[in-house]
Amino acid sequence: MVTRLAPLFVLLAAMLWGTTGTAQTFAPAAAHPIAVGSVRLAIGGICLLVVLLIFGQFHRKGWPVRLTLLAAFSMACYQPLFFSAVQQTGVAVGTVIGIGSAPIFSGLLEAVFLNKRPAIVWWAATLLSICGCLLLFLTGESVTIQPVGIVLALGAGLAFAGYTLLSSKIVQNKSSLEATAVIFILGAVLLVPFLFLFNMNWILQPSGIAVSLHLGLITTAIAYFLFSSGLKKVPASSAVTLSLAEPLTAAVLGVVLVGEELAILSWAGIALLLVGIILIAFSSRKSEI
């Protein structure tokens, strides 16, 4: 039963991540994207740690210190890299390159460090999903191409792929709650300096509090706990491809809640994304992908 639900856990996590962009539109104007990302990680990490101390158990013995530190560093890097890329290139290009490149980096990392080549179904699903992202986000009239922003977005994709691969190794010997709590607390500590670089008065406003809690509790604590639970049974490369449900969710929310209109090519992109995600979801039930 757990094996069958593992892909669903990853999909649910990606769907929760998809609410991030919509939630940020309600943040105060003074909220800098990097500051928002730092607060998000801090709240999520503290929440997970509290839950771990109340309901879980922390075992000091057998803890993979090096893997944990690398995973925390990867997650800490992802926040400022992704939000800075979006600021430099816009939501469309930043999202497509950042999220779309993550499955490719994940497959390469598995091939290099685990000597594991993704199967044909993974390549097909990933190609369909990335093409879907391109059609979904890059069909607008204005696209901003900034070399620095593209590098930042690629860095974000590599950071997320690295976190996923490292986390998938950690959760094989540690509980999902334990692994996620420790990784995110360490990542939050690494991002503390960013909180002193920007004006943080916005966080005391009602909208700032609401957005921070949503991003920290829903899109970080709960979402990454689900993601880590799925990683126990789903290969890292497949999990990253499944996470492409994030832009799909964001697009649907944009239509339903914000009143955005999608072009025919964008709907075609959604269809390709769905096909790719379904392929991975079903193939993830097999012993090898």
pTM given for the model: 0.87
Query: Dihedral angle at the C-alpha atoms of 12, 18, 23, 27, nearest 10 degrees?
Result: 130
Residue 149 near residue 85, CB atoms below 8 Å? yes
Least confident segment among 31-45, 188-202, 243-257, 267-281:
243-257
Q: For 121-158, how does the pLDDT look when each residue is reduced to its tens digit (9 = 90+)? A: 888 888 998 888 888 776 655 555 678 888 998 999 99
Q: Is the dihedral of CA 32, 239, 248, 19 positive or negative?
A: negative
**Residue 237 per-residue DSSP state:** H
Q: How far is CA 55 from CA 48, 49, 166, 180, 234, in A?
A: 10, 10, 24, 14, 25
